Amino acid sequence: MKRSKLYRSRLAQVDRQTRYGLNDAIALLKTLPVPKFDETVELSFRLGIDPRQSDQVVRGALVLPKGTGKKVRVAVIAEGDAAQKARDAGADEVGYEDLLERIKGGWLEFDVLIATPDAMKVVRTLGRVLGPRGLMPNPKTGTVTDDTATAVQESKGGRVEYRCDRAGCVQMPIGKLSFAAADLAVNADAACHTIMRARPATAKGTYVLSATLSATMSPGLRLDLKDVVRA
């Protein structure tokens, strides 16, 4: 695969055989040559699970203490008091039948969709539209709830969702490269702690096989697992 000049220049400053401490990895990432945009910093985990088994799927959400650095557009499908609380909490779009019809017609200008439990009977009919884009509300990620105000506030304040892929890997953003190193470290600790707590009871052997830290256009920095599993 042909790599960009920026990627190659960054790769030259990284020792691919070293397992970096988390704080050292963050510090190194911030010294690498930068592109013309604010990159997203991401933590990736390779887990010793079998995602083919339904009881070993690692999925959930967490609220990053220092936020994501991203403006999140939130839509809420609700009626009555739950709808008004969502508006008061700062939701970008709130509605019921009208909003469902807009989505059915192809409108998808939102990052997170929240729905009340009562609304899910109609929201599920949009599975073919929402599912492939990862926008279907789910109780496990806190997006199916009667407490729409809290869900909106968390989504806008740093809430990120995660789910393992078919290879048992999980990736999640932990902020922007412009964040202070200390803030990235706080978010990274929260992410590691969340992944450790999400270990399925049926998973056997080593749980976290490897972990890497990277920015949008950087090589991955292999992490010392002592800094990951301690969280």
pLDDT tens-digit readout, 96-153: 999 999 999 999 999 999 999 999 999 999 999 998 888 999 998 889 999 999 999 9
Tokens of 160: 């990120």
At which of 157, 173, 195 does a domain end?
Answer: 157
The helix/strand/coil state of 144 is: strand
Q: Calculate the dihedral angle through the C-alpha atoms of 29, 32, 33, 35, rounding to the nearest 10 degrees.
A: -10
Give the C-alpha separation, 99 to 85, whole Å: 17
Q: For residue 177, which amino acid is it?
A: L
Residue 67 contacts by C-beta under 8 Å, 6 or more apart in sequence?
157, 158, 175
Same domain as 85, residue 140: yes
* Tens digit of each residue's pLDDT, the chain (231 residues): 677 778 787 778 888 889 999 999 999 999 988 888 999 999 999 999 999 999 999 999 899 999 999 889 999 999 999 999 999 999 999 999 999 999 999 999 999 999 999 999 999 999 999 988 889 999 988 899 999 999 999 999 888 989 999 999 999 999 999 999 999 999 999 999 999 999 999 999 999 999 999 999 888 999 999 988 865
- Structural domain including 120 reads 74-157
Judge if 63 and 168 occupy the same domain: yes
DSSP state of 13: T
Please tell me the pTM assigned to this model. Answer: 0.79
Residues 135 and 30 placed together within one structural domain of the fold:
no
The residue from 157, 190, 214 where one domain ends is: 157
107, 215: one domain: no
146 and 177 both lie in a single domain: no
- Do 54 and 111 share a domain, yes or no? no
CA distance 226 to 231: 9
Domain boundary among 141, 157, 173: 157
CA distance 88 to 43: 33
Residue 109 half-sphere exposure, CB side, CA atoms within 13 Å?
A: 7
